[in-house]
Structure 1
């Protein structure tokens, strides 16, 4: 395996596909020509890419929850509840953990035990084991577009089954579904495996079927500076575009400072389009998604609704194409369908109220946009340089050198030397830049922001700030002030 950012040729793709479809019995159900005909009959209002493009043109923010259970009829019941009671605009099918790790024998046991118990004993929908016809049953039973959301390092069979099964959006990437999730999986393997996934989507695109692709934006979910998540989203977009993907949604996890979050949503679209154009991918449609706060939540439901509503306001004011919703049970585990619907409704109310409002370009907002752009370009340009023009090769070398360094990631492929913390206004800055190739001016900027907070709190700049910030929102604050 020699990793290059080059479109996979048909012979190699077919060789790999034969191996992939042999991984589980439902693989033999895949018939590409038949699947294309099936997709051609899907109503336009149930196609993810069309719904997103329409929302982007109108300036609307769509609402999407997370959800998935083991049994098909229960999953359909849950999804319809989230539409009818929660008023969701878009739906997920969240995949179970065994499927994410390609452990299909254990999935089968989980399905059987769930049937005996009459309730889900898996933490998601086992799409591979259910197969194409049951995936189609899910999609035919709801009246809005459905996306596959998961967390799978090797998602090749999952992609084959679910896209043939009528899903019109597929989340993830070789970086974003490896580094934040796994400890020992080689990065070159996951990027290579996801080139297959993206080439599959590209083949569908060439047949006239547009499948939306969404790199996972929040990464480790807590205190991830915008330039880090932006860089991963841009790289995964470039990798997808080379394989023929034409519709991409780039994401960002809410950090909590309104100005920074609005600047982040604006710049992620601008920067992604900039680098796509730079590499000659000029016909890719780019939309955006804001993930509501991905860190610790208050256990009190009323306080949790405050966090959810702040995420909703941020998405609306930033003009995100869609927002991924949290629930008031976030601190307690898997939510009930009622709790999930209530999070959607709270978000919907705020987004609807703010539909005609957007943040004006103030001096502070412009400054934040400029710093995010400058930081991201430092990382991406160095990555391109390390790869001698090849973004796939450059990505491997950038992680090895700590040029890309995702905070708090478990992967051994990740340097883990960067430490983010909040400044005095709650924006996420770098307490320690480590080997990220920032200019002296950018490093000085971060130092000054952290020094300002340290002086205000009358304490030294230290890792304790990082710890305090991680737990702050769960305790009712944004900035982790000392007692």
Structure 2
């Protein structure tokens, strides 16, 4: 479908997304990575051929993510299958062959990795001919590593500058902040919006002029809609003339166990993307609670998303003005408090976490204060129970009724139980009926 709808005027990720959005299409993207080049190519070819408007994904394996290239090399030597594509160990020639006559203006491919120290990965990405990736100095540090935030920000600054300096002519580098997905099922949206904006400002300061902001679907569709609209406003205010778009992620937490529940959750994420104006959606499949999905299961999810996106009710208009204003104010407060600490965004992020002005609840990284706590209220909205030293107010002083572990498990499994029908009330909240 990608190559037949319209031709891209440029050879970059953002051009493709914006042109498809102007044509009224939602771009959908799988999570996909396989260790064997022939299997990885077959997966990309299937994504290109699917009945939806798509971009491709190469997700690296866990060894490559943490820089353990020796273990990745040994797995390749012994024929052990990895949980992603070992980009560095396959080398530039194999990687270029993987993408030959496949990746291009009408089928951009993004590298997804999870690395706090991405310089070597970005060098391999450029050598392969790829210019789109994602992550960030906070969002790929705090949840995924013990790397000090100060070290991660230096590494990401060097990596961004490398990308900006060595990008091929006519192919601007694109970076997507993962900040809006960080422990998303446990974070009220103001923090996620703020982190995504701050990481994009970091990218821009280090030479990247083509970015996207992320947000993960959470526990209440109206709250999510308000958050996404607040994110778009803040991006317009802070990013100026930088080219940007918004990517929504289908729920990142514990997934429904039933196929019916999982598919309803995916459908609702498509409706949320359309109602909010998000230009891109990263999907999940019906088997997320059981195992890593196959290519075929990824294609089924992409085609379902494409079908739902094309229905008239998928982008129903909804007024969420008061809630949008509240999220906008909270996120803006966090962004401005951080930026006030230093003119360098990376140093400002380091200081904000050191002082607890940014605090990711339940995150055990040594540089995170971990004083903030959250709850899910009676409407399914994520709210602050305690805000630690952050310059924002808790919405509720409610005391937890069970043990901390029990309360946390309840929150983590909320969407699973709701969409599998174990909680009272309908599993779906339709956006154009919510208030």
Fold shared per TM-score above 0.5: yes
Counterpart position of 1:83: 48
| Distance verdict in 2 for CA 1:355–1:288, change over 3 Å | farther
CA–CA distance in structure 2, aligned partners of residues 402 and 379 of structure 1: 11
Note if contact 1:465-1:480 (Cα within 8 Å) is conserved in structure 2.
no
Q: Does 1:418 align with 2:402?
A: no
Choose from 146, 158, 166 the match for 1:196.
Answer: 158
Q: Does 1:369 align with 2:324?
A: yes
Counterpart position of 1:48: 13
Note if contact 1:60-1:319 (Cα within 8 Å) is conserved in structure 2.
no
Residue correspondence of structure 1 range 43-442 to structure 2 within 5 A: 47-85=12-50, 87=52, 89-114=54-79, 121-142=81-102, 144-182=107-145, 184-204=146-166, 207-216=169-178, 217-276=180-239, 282-354=240-312, 357-360=315-318, 362=319, 365-387=320-342, 389-438=343-392, 442=393
SS at match of 1:437: coil
Scaled by the length of structure 2, the TM-score of the pair is 0.88
| Distance verdict in 2 for CA 1:375–1:479, change over 3 Å | farther
Cα RMSD after superposing both structures:
2.5
Q: Which is further off, 80-89 or 374-383? A: 80-89
Deviation at 1:223, TM superposition (A): 2.3
CA–CA distance in structure 1, aligned partners of residues 267 and 133 of structure 2: 27
Deviation at 1:204, TM superposition (A): 4.0
CA–CA distance in structure 2, aligned partners of residues 476 and 400 of structure 1: 37
Note if contact 2:175-2:211 (Cα within 8 Å) is conserved in structure 1.
yes
CA–CA distance in structure 2, aligned partners of residues 461 and 382 of structure 1: 34
Deviation at 1:93, TM superposition (A): 0.3
CA–CA distance in structure 1, aligned partners of residues 88 and 155 of structure 2: 17
| Distance verdict in 2 for CA 1:156–1:83, change over 3 Å | same
CA–CA distance in structure 2, aligned partners of residues 197 and 89 of structure 1: 27
| Distance verdict in 2 for CA 1:395–1:241, change over 3 Å | same
CA–CA distance in structure 2, aligned partners of residues 359 and 273 of structure 1: 21
Tell me the alpha carbon deviations over residues 364-385 of structure 1, each in whole angstroms, 9 at most, x when there is no partner: x111111111111221121122
Tell me the alpha carbon deviations over residues 444-468 of structure 1, each in whole angstroms, 9 at most, x when there is no partner: xx12xx75xx9xxxx8598554432
Scaled by the length of structure 1, the TM-score of the pair is 0.80
CA–CA distance in structure 2, aligned partners of residues 481 and 461 of structure 1: 18
Deviation at 1:64, TM superposition (A): 0.4
Note if contact 1:298-1:473 (Cα within 8 Å) is conserved in structure 2.
yes
Structure 1 unaligned regions, length at least 5: 1-41, 115-119, 277-281
Note if contact 2:126-2:167 (Cα within 8 Å) is conserved in structure 1.
no
CA–CA distance in structure 2, aligned partners of residues 45 and 327 of structure 1: 31
Counterpart position of 2:410: 468
Tell me the alpha carbon deviations over residues 289-318 of structure 1, each in whole angstroms, 9 at most, x when there is no partner: 000000111222222111111111111211
SS at match of 2:184: coil
| Distance verdict in 2 for CA 1:355–1:303, change over 3 Å | closer
SS at match of 2:269: helix
Note if contact 2:185-2:219 (Cα within 8 Å) is conserved in structure 1.
no
Structure 2 unaligned regions, length at least 5: 1-6, 425-435
